Amino acid sequence: MNEIERIIELRKQLHQHNYNYYVLSAPTISDKEFDMSLKELQELEEKHPEMFDANSPTQRVGSDLNEEFQTVAHIRPMLSLANTYNIEEVRDFYQRVSDALHGQPFQVCAELKYDGLSISLHYHNGELRQAVTRGDGVQGDDVTANVRTIRSIPLVLNSDIIDIPEDFEIRGEILMPWSSFERLNKEREQNGEDLFANPRNAASGTLKSKNPKVVSQRGLDAYLYFLLGDDIPNEGHYENMNIARSWGFQVSRDMQLCNTLDELWEYITYWDTHRKELPVATDGIVIKVNSIAQQKALGMTAKSPRWAIAYKFQAEQASTILREVTFQVGRTGVVTPVANMDSVQLSGTMVHRATLHNADILASLDLHIGDRVLVEKGGEIIPKIVGKDDNFAQTNGTGSPIQFIQRCPVCGTALIRGEEEASHYCPNDLHCTPQIIGRLEHFVSRKAMNINLVGPELIQQYHRQGLLNDIADFYSITHDKKIADSIAQSTQVPFERVLFALGIRFVGEIAAKTLARKFKSIDNIMSATAEELLEVDGIGKVIAESVINYFASAENRTLIERLKNVGIQFTLSEEVLAAQSDTLSGQSIVISGVFTHHSRDEYKRIIEQHGGKNVGSISAKTSFILAGDNMGPAKLEKAQKLGVRIVSEEEFLGMIQ
C-alpha cells in the first residue's frame, strides 16, 4: 500500500472510529490507538498537500483563522413549532389533525425537544457540504467550518456499504452537554470571565465563534431529528430517522411511535421526570405526524407546520432556604431586590441567587429571612422565587417581612417610582457608582460606540484610578496607544448609535434611531419640547419625559459639549441625509422572502430612511408587502384575502429612487 492509499484507508478507518465512539458509544480501539492513527494521517497529509480534504478527520481540530459568516438562504424554510403546555392543548392538536385528515388513521412520532441551536446540514455524495443555522427561518449563517469540528457530526458517510441519496438535508440541534458546560464555566470563572447562563447560550455563543479552534475545544454535540430531500428512503418520519442513524448520524433512541393519545401522554409523563438523567438539556417533547404524505396534506401556517407541535415542560422547581435579600443598582438606576439562598441544583446548574423583580412582587411573596422557598428558572435561564414551599411543615422563617428599601443602597439618595413604572430607581445618575460604571460599559458596547479593547474590568480599574468618571473621559486616555487609537476610531460612529450610547433612560436602540432621523442633530433634540417629541411615531410619554429630563441637566449639556469637542458625530451624516425622504411616510410595510440586491436588515433600514414603518405581520392596515423569492404561501394567501398589494424588489427600489 503506497502513501496515497494509506491516507485514504486511514481516513476511512478514523471516520468509522468516530462514529463508533460518538454515536454508538461503543469504541473498538483505545484513545491512544486513535491518536496514533490520527498522527500518522496528519504526517502523511503534510507530505502530500495535494490530498487536502476539508472532510478529513485531521480537520476536526479547527483552524486559528477567523471565519466571517456568510448569510445563505435555506432551500426549504426552517419554521418554528407552535408550543403547548398541557394535556388539553395536546388533545386539541390531536383532534385538529384527525379532523383535517377526515378521520383516517394516523400515528405520531414523539421525540425529545433538545434545548440547543437549530442546524441544517447538507450532504452531497455522502460528504458534508454546508451547515447553516436557522437564522430567521428563511436564511441563516453558514457555520460549516465550525460544525466540522463537532465529532458526532459525520463528515463522510460510508456510501460504499449503504445506499445513500446523492443530495439530502438533515436538521437537528447543536448542544453543549452538561459536562462540557460545567467545565467551560469553571474555566471562565478561573479566568475572571462572565459565566454562561445555561448550556443553550454556551452552545450558541460557541457555534457563532469566529475561531473554529475555539469551537473544537468546547465539546459541542449534535442530535439530528429531521430528514429532507427529493429522494428520502421512506414514507415515515420515524423510519427515516432510524435509517439516518445507520448512515452515521446521532439520532435519539428515545423516539417513540404512538398510536393513541394515551400512549403519547404516557411518553410525555415519563420524560418529564427522567429528562433530568440525560447528559444534555431538554425542555419538552416534539410531536410529529409520522406519515410524510399526511404531513404534506396537513400543510403549514405562516409560521409553523400543522402536522407538528412542541409540548413544553413546566419549569423545574427546587426548594431551598432564603438567607438574605440584597438590592442591586443597574445602569439606569433601577433598583432590583435579589434573594440570596442556600445553593440548590436547578435545571442542571447550581443556583444561589434569584431575582425578586420589584417592590410589588417582593410584597406579594411576603418573604421572611429563613423562609423555605420554591425557585424556578424563567425560560430555563433566570432563577426566580415563585412562592413558599408548603410541602414542609416549617415553611416560614423568623423575623418581620422583608421590605423594599427607600434609599439607594450605594449612595443613599431617596428612591423614585414613576406613576407608570413598576420599578424604583435612584435619580442620582451622575454620582452613583453602579450607574457611572454601567453607563461607561454601555457606552463602549458593540451596538453603541463599539470600543472593543475596553471591557468591564478595564473600566472598573480606570474608574478606581480616577481616569474615568464620565463617558467624555474616554477621550482623555492617552497612556496606552492601542487603547487610545481604538477609542479615537469611535468618533466615526454614526449619530443614531451615539444617541443610544449616551444611555438616556428608556431610549433604546430603536428609539434612538427614530429620534436621530426625525430631528437630525443633537441640538434639535436638546431644544425639542415634549409636544414635539410626542409627535414622533413610536415616542411615548415616558421616553419624551426622560429625554427632556436628561437634557435639562446642566452637567449633561456640558458632557455633550465635551464630546462635540473631540469630534463625536452629533448630526446625521451627509450620506444618510441625502438618502432620507418622505417617499414611504405613513406606510406600514411587511418584508417577506429572500432578496437579491439587499439583505432583509438593509431593506428595513431603507424603509426607515424613507419614512416608512416596518411591521412584522400582515393586517388590513398593511400598506404593501415587499416580497422576495420564496415568500410564504400563507402570507400570500392572507395578503390576497385582505387585498394587500405585493411589491417586488425591483418595483420597490424604483419607488425610492
Give dist(CA 240, CA 249) in Å, integer. 12
Residue 217 Cα distances to 132, 146, 183, 212, angstroms = 20, 11, 11, 9
Residue 40 Cα distances to 50, 127, 526, angstroms = 17, 23, 69
Give dist(CA 21, CA 41) in Å, integer. 19
Give dist(CA 153, CA 15) in Å, integer. 10
> Which triple of cell numbers denotes residue 405?
428599601
Residue from 220, 583, 178, 490 nearest 350 by CA: 178
Backbone angles phi, psi at 647, to 5 degrees: -115, 125
Rounding to the nearest 10 degrees, give the CA dihedral for residues 504, 510, 513, 517.
-120
Cα of first residue to Cα of last residue in the chain, in angstroms, is: 67
> Which triple of cell numbers denotes residue 651?
418595483
Residue from 641, 603, 635 nearest 617 by CA: 635
- Is 513 designated active site? no
Backbone angles phi, psi at 48, to 5 degrees: -125, 70
DSSP 102: T
The H or E element that residue 456 is part of is helix 456-464
Distance of CA 551 to the CA centre of its chain: 35
Given a contact cutoff of 8 angstroms between Cβ atoms, the answer to whether 57 and 15 are in contact is: yes
* Pairing mode of beta strands 372-378, 382-388: antiparallel
User: Which residue of the set 32, 39, 113, 303 is catalytic?
Assistant: 113
Residue from 118, 123, 187, 180 nearest 156 by CA: 123
DSSP 523: H
Q: Helix (H, G, I), strand (E, B), or coil: what is residue 314?
A: coil
Residue 370 Cα distances to 7, 145, 359, angstroms = 66, 52, 19
Residue from 105, 99, 96 nearest 260 by CA: 105
* Pairing mode of beta strands 372-378, 335-346: unpaired
DSSP 472: G
Q: Helix (H, G, I), strand (E, B), or coil: what is residue 236?
A: strand
> Which triple of cell numbers denotes residue 177?
452537554
Residues 6 or more apart whose CB falls under 8 angstroms from that of 260 comprise none
- Cβ count within 10 A of residue 107: 18
Catalytic residues: 113
